[in-house]
Structures are given as structure tokens and as C-alpha cells.
A and B are shown apart, each in its own frame.
Chain A
Amino acid sequence: MKQKLINFFELTGLTWFIPIVRLCTGDDPKEQIGDLSRQIALPLAAMVSFFMIWSYCSTKIKTSVGQLPGPSYVLSQAKAMWATHKSEKFNKEEFKTNEELRISVAELIEQRQKTTSLETKKSLTSKINSIKAVILKHLSQLENEIKVNQAIVDKAEADKKAQVTAMTTQLNSLKKFVFDENNKAVLGPDGKPKLSDESLSKLANINNRRVAVFEGNLVRIYKSSENTAKSLIKKIEKIDTYYQQDIAYQAALNKDELEKKIISNKKKLDAFEKQIFKGKEYNSNGSIVDYIKLSITTVIFGFCLAAGIAIPMGILCGLSPSIMTALNPLIQTFRPVSPLAWVLITIQIIDGIFVGDNALTGEILKNTFLHAGITVALCSMWATLSNTALGVSSVDPDHMNVAKVLKLNWFDRIFKIVIPSAIPYIFTGLRITLGVGWMVLIVAEMMATSRGLGWFIDQEYQNNKVESLANIIVCIFIIGLIGAVLDRIMSVFQKLVSFNDDVAA
């Protein structure tokens, strides 16, 4: 068990877990703690100094949109992004619930319109009315949520106000004012001494922090969901009224007199029923989690495409020096081409093939997805290609001798000797490919407007606010982390397929 854990951490490169495991299983604590402090303390110290330097610089550097966001600001932005994601999720769920309710009502009404049997009509009517109870139950849940969240919002608002007041007093007492060359305090438009830029940015930081975004958004979402549900009830009631009236009129004795009423009643009933049939599209820009998901899907798609092209081509190049000689100039020419150039041509070609914005069905298989994915493949496949070619062409002569002594035929030589012995090279290439692909992806998404992380960064950039700048910094960390995780995964594969132990970490 212990050895298994240690092996696992060694394989994944998370070596700083090893002393912890050893410590927990009762190995010499002194040695392990020494190990641990070396493995964890040093990176930790580096990390802390990085954040300190960043924090310091952020007070000094002014960007075109305002003060450079410091770590704490970025952290609060990250929280806000997470909160946005959560409220987005709630929004979607609420939308779905309401839509489902509408659809079930609409189905019942449709059935009622079609049937001629009075009995069935009656039972359907009572079913329609019973849905009201379901909606009411949903409403009471919502009311509860609104109450709870409103309280949180109120408290957060109050906290924020208190914080701003405290900060203002603090700043005033520190007297961080602006002085002119005669050392006289400069007055602001309100007649009071003007605060220095640094003080202002501190204040702005508080104001900008979206303290109550999450809860505020939730209240908004729940309220709109409540409205939708309520209006659905109203519609059902209206329909019922007109329906009952219709029955009454139809059954009346003096039909001629009622003719007008019957017609106008029928029209109203139809109008309301039509409203129920009309569905809504869920419309949203998505949240950070959606962007991450799309980015990862895209990079995996691009990666598989790259591998699918580069490995067979690399094998051919490695096997035949003439193919290598033929293709080499092309490879050398295309390899250094920037993703920016590839993406543009990819966009035009793909749009030419799949005419229209969304010729392929499915939510992610839009043209923009293909643009970004293919660009990733085009830019990243070269490492795998050249590594595969190298691996195939540099088969250990001893292994080739084995093939010769055994008189293996061509097919066996390729599949039993050449390709297996090239596998470690291929995986080294694939690891580089995935790394390059992930890097290229961000640019490709920006250009292709595929709604992943790259697109989001671009959107935020267009926003031109300090807040957006902080969002971009959050994205940079996310991109870095995902890239590191992808690289770890590939390095595990690389270690698993290697025959020797001396593979780079």
C-alpha cells in the first residue's frame, strides 16, 4: 500500500507527497521532515515572494485602464467568476424547470384540442389544473430561496458600506492627499482635499469587489423564475376560464344570441393556448466552467487530429529516407508558421466547406470549434511528426539484428520491432504537441471566436476595465494550471511506455 502510493506519486511527479506518506507510515520523522521542508518549503517561499513582488508592483504600475490588480483583487475576481458560474448554473436549472412545466401543460392542451371525446377532455382539463399545484410548490421553494439570499445580500451590502466608510476615514486620517508644488493640499471638485491616486485605487478596489454578486444574482434569477412560473399559472387560469366559458356557451340553449360571444371567446382561448405552445431558447454567454470545458475539448480534438496525421506520416518519413527527403522542405517551411496565420486560412476553408454559421449539429461542433481545433492541430503536429520519424529511423541496430537473424518479414519488422521501439519517441513528441497545442489554442480561440478561454480573454480585454484585467489574470492562472496538469498526464504516459528509467520528468 505504502509502496504503491509512493510509486504513484513518483510516476505523477508529485514527489513532495512522498515524505508525507512516509511520515504517516512511521518512517524516521527527522529525515522525512527535512525532505518535506526541502520539497515544500522552497517552492512555497518562491511562491510567497512572487505574490509579494506582484502585490508591491500592482500598487506602482498603472495600466491604461487603471491600477494593475493585485493578488487579493484577482482572488476576489476569481471568486466572483466562480459565483457567476454558479448563478449561471442556477439560471439554467430554473429555466429548464419552467420550460418543462410549460411543455407538460402544452402537451396536455394539444391532446385536449385533438380529442373529440368529452370524457377525455374532462380528464385532461383536470390534469392541466393539477399542474398548477406543481408550479405552486416550485414557487414556494423559490420564495424561500429569495428570502435567504436577500438577507445575505443585505448583509453584504452593509458590510461593504461599513468597509468603505472605514477605509475612507482611515485614508483621511493618514492624510494621503495630493499636494501642489507649494506643498499646499489640492482641493477636489467637492471642495475637500483631493486624495492621492494610491489612496483612490485602494478605495476603488473595495468598490469594485463584487461583494454581493453571487447572492444578488441569485435573487435576480429566482425572482425572474418566480415571474415566469407565476405567469404560467396565470395563463393556465385564463385558459381554464375561457375553456369553461366555451363549454357553457356551447351548451347554452339560445346559441344564436351567443354567437358573437362564442367567437370572441374562442379567439381568446386560442390566443392563450398559442402562447403556451411557444417555447424559449436558453440564451447565455456561458460561464468560466463552460469556457474551460470547451477549451479542453478543443485541445483534445486538435491533439487527436495532430496525432492522427503526424504519427502515420512520421512513420513513413522514418521508414523511407526518400519520403523524408521529399517532405522535409515542406515540414521545415510549415513548422514555424504562426497560429495567427493558420487560423485565418482555416476559418475560410472550413466556412467554405460547412457553409453557414452552424452547419454541423450539436452544441460544441460549431464551425468556430473546428477553426480552433484544426489550427491547434496544424501548429502542434510537427513535434510528433519529427519525433516519430526520429524514433522510427533510429531503431537500435541490435534490435534490427534480432529481426534479421529471425528473418522477420517486412510487416513484422515494422509492427513488431520498429513501431514498438519508436513508441517512447512518439510519446515524447505527443507531450510536446499537447503543450504547444494548449498554447496555440488560446490565440486560435481569440481569432476564431470559439467560446473558450481565449475568447473570454478577448472579450474581457474589449471591456477595458480594471475588473476585466483581473479576470484576464485569473484566466492566465487557469490556463497555466490546466497546461501543467495536461503535461503531468502526458509525462505519466511517457513514463509508462518508456523502457528505460531515464526519462525526463
Chain B
Amino acid sequence: MDKNRYLDLSNLSKVYETKKGPFVVLEDFSLQIPESEFVCLIGHSGCGKSTILSMAAGLNDITKGSVAVADKEINGPGPDRGVVFQAPSLLPWLSAYDNVMLGVKKVYPHASAKEKEEIVMHYLHAVGLGGAIEKKPKELSSGMRQRVGIARAFALKPKIMLLDEPLGMLDALTKYELQDLIVKLHAEHKLTTLMVTHDVDEALYLSDRVIMMTNGPKATLGDILINDLPRPRDRQTLLNHPDYYPYREHLISFLEEQEELKKKHA
């Protein structure tokens, strides 16, 4: 098995059939992620980031190209790829505990009831939700809901973690907390992670690599930034790191360039 292409997206294309004819969102997008690397995907709204992620998850049909996990081409969705979306998409009629349990039951069918309970409790504690396990999603704050979503994804013991703007709807403080949570979980589990974000600082704080996408239609990989800021990272010291601002500048200027292009196009 090639450790350098644990998650292998090769020559992905996506065409949506619309009323106005075929709409090519994505063309020839390739990305290899080595095992336990954390990759962030940034790009303008509508360029097709979610499309890539949902194709990798198997929730969206692949028009052309292929997705392979650990050298095995995927065929539809499965619990080997944990997914967290912007909206936590918890089942509203189940408590936080049961939401996590639903997946655990599926992934550990032979575990005893007690073992399952321990797994669920472990992950709920890990995301800091030990005290609210019996609460229904509507009784939780949006930050807590997203924590449940993260716990649910990690409890599946996936090989790959796919995060689509998981912190997009949260306020700054909650965002920081959950970023730290993600860092902690990644350090612990060393999961290969592909995360979409709009937030440049978030990308620099979390990732090992930042992938920049060109604008759609026919969007594709635009630029790659190797983010070698030293780990473990601390928000304050990170800001003072000499590379931080150049990296940030790199990302922002890419996005601005794309914005300019878009205006010219229009």
C-alpha cells in the first residue's frame, strides 16, 4: 500500500445535468493525501469544494475519475469515511447518546452492550459532552450539536475523515474551542483528514497542506501551500512565527486573484 496516497482522488470530474444543459463543475481534479495528513481545501463559494468532498464520501456520483482509499476504489458511501457537514445533521428524535450509538452499533456489531456504551461515552467525553448525553439536538447549542456530529464521525473509527466547513456556522469563540478539539483528535487518532474551510487562519492553524481551488465552472486544483508551521501549534506563538504572514498572504492573494478573474469573466 502506498502510504503517500492513502486517500487518492484522481482526475475527478463532475457534471451536473441542469435544465440549461450539462454544467461542468469540476474538471480533472487530482489530489493525493498521505496517511494521517491533514489537508485543507479552500476556494471561492460555489467552486465545487463540497462536491469533491461528497464524491469522496460516496454520497455524490462521480462523473469521471476515481476515488480510492488505501488503494481500494470506493463504491458508494460507507462507515470507513467519517463525514461532518456544516449542518450537524443529527437525527432530531434521538438523544446525543443515541445519535452516536446508531453508528457504533453498525460498526461494532459484535461488541457487547457494555462495550458499545463505553465507546459512545468515550467519544462523547472526548468532545466534552459528558454532561449532556441525554439531551435532544434541539436542546443543544449549535456548538454542542457540532460536537456530537464530530463524536459520531470519530466513533465510526473511520480511515478517512471528511469535514465540510464543520465550524462555518459557529461564533468565533466556539470555533476556537472546536478547532482545538479537532487538533486534539487528529493528534490522537492520526486520521487522514480532508477539510473544507473558508477561513484562512483556520486552514493555517489545522492543516499540513492547503489546497487552493480555482473558480468554477470547470474548477480544478489551483495552488498548493505546504504548511510546515511547527506542531504542536499555539494560536499566539503561531501569529508570531515568521512564516505565518507570508503563508497567509499567499492564500489571500490567491483568493483575490480568483476574485479578479471572476469579475473579468462577468
Contact = CB atoms under 8 A, between A and B. Distances in A.
Interface of A: 396, 398-399, 401-402, 404-408, 416-417, 420-421, 423, 499-501
Q: Which 10 residue pairs of A and B lie closest in terms of their CB atoms, listed nearest first? A: A499-B92, A398-B89, A404-B77, A420-B93, A406-B106, A405-B77, A406-B103, A401-B59, A407-B78, A405-B83
Nearest to A401: B59
B49 interface: no
Most buried by B among A402, A405, A499, A501: A405
Given A401-B77, A499-B136, A499-B137, A408 B106 contact: yes
Nearest to B136: A499
Nearest to B92: A499
5 contacts: A398-B87, A401-B83, A405-B59, A407-B78, A499-B93
Contacts of A399: 89, 91
Contact of B89 (A401, A416, A501): A401
Interface residues of B, number: 25
A404 B89 contact: no
Contacts of B247: none
Interface string B143-168: 00000000000001000000000000
Given A405-B59, A406-B106, A408-B106, A420 B91 contact: yes
Contacts of A501: 138
Contact of A423 (B58, B93, B107): B93
B85 to A, nearest CB: 7
Nearest to A412: B106
Given A401-B77, A401-B83, A407 B89 contact: no
Nearest to A405: B77
Interface of B: 57-59, 76-79, 81-83, 85, 87, 89, 91-94, 102-103, 106-107, 136-138, 156
B103 A398 contact: no
A493 to B, nearest CB: 14
Given A404-B76, A405-B77, A499-B138, 15 more contacts: A398-B85, A398-B87, A399-B91, A402-B89, A402-B102, A404-B77, A405-B79, A405-B83, A405-B156, A406-B107, A407-B79, A420-B93, A421-B92, A421-B93, A500-B92
B185 to A, nearest CB: 18
A402 B94 CA distance: 13
A417 B79 contact: no
Contact of A405 (B57, B87, B136): B57
A421 B93 CA distance: 7
Nearest to A404: B77
A446 B38 CA distance: 74
A408 B91 CA distance: 14
B132 to A, nearest CB: 17
A424 to B, nearest CB: 9
Contacts of A407: 77-79, 106
B138 A406 contact: no
A417 B91 contact: yes
Contacts of B102: 402, 406, 416
A405 B138 contact: no
Nearest to B90: A402
Contacts of A420: 91, 93-94
Contact of B78 (A398, A405, A421): A405
Contacts of A406: 79, 102-103, 106-107, 156
Nearest to A407: B78
Nearest to B82: A405
Contacts of B85: 398
B140 to A, nearest CB: 12
Contacts of B92: 421, 499-500
A162 to B, nearest CB: 66
Most buried by A among B59, B79, B91: B91
Most buried by A among B79, B106, B107, B136: B106
Contacts of B81: 405
A399 to B, nearest CB: 6
B136 to A, nearest CB: 7
A399 B88 CA distance: 10
A417 B106 CA distance: 14
Contacts of A408: 106
Nearest to A501: B138
B104 to A, nearest CB: 10
A416 B101 CA distance: 12
A206 to B, nearest CB: 60
B42 to A, nearest CB: 23
A423 B93 CA distance: 9
Contacts of B94: 420
